Amino acid sequence: MITEAEIKQGGEWVTIDFAEGVKRRRQVMRCPACAGPINPYDGGGSVPHFAHIKANPHCPLSFRFSGTSKAHPDALA
């Protein structure tokens, strides 16, 4: 589960928590593990967390982690 995100601030990626992610929903944010684009997800009674916009089974934070870590195909640098 992705509980933190990274957003670009002053040219550097900084870590933010979920509450901050909700406030900054319109900004581009990435997964701290695979650098793929993510969004805050607060629906449906689940624990609030971030979700990949496009799933990455090779991300260790993914629910369906394949066991092999690989960068997201749309990784943000």
What residue ranges bind Zn ion (CB under 5 A)? 31, 33-34, 36, 59, 61
Instruction: Using the minimum distance from each CB to Zn ion, give the nearer residue, 21 or 36.
Output: 36
Instruction: Using the minimum distance from each CB to Zn ion, give the nearer residue, 10 or 39.
Output: 39
Shortest reach from residue 5's CB to Zn ion, in Å? 10
CA distance 39 to 28: 8
Shortest reach from residue 31's CB to Zn ion, in Å? 3
Shortest reach from residue 23's CB to Zn ion, in Å? 21
Instruction: Using the minimum distance from each CB to Zn ion, give the nearer residue, 5 or 59.
Output: 59
CB under 8 A, 24+ apart: contacts of 37-44: 37/72, 37/74, 37/76, 38/2, 38/5, 40/5, 42/18
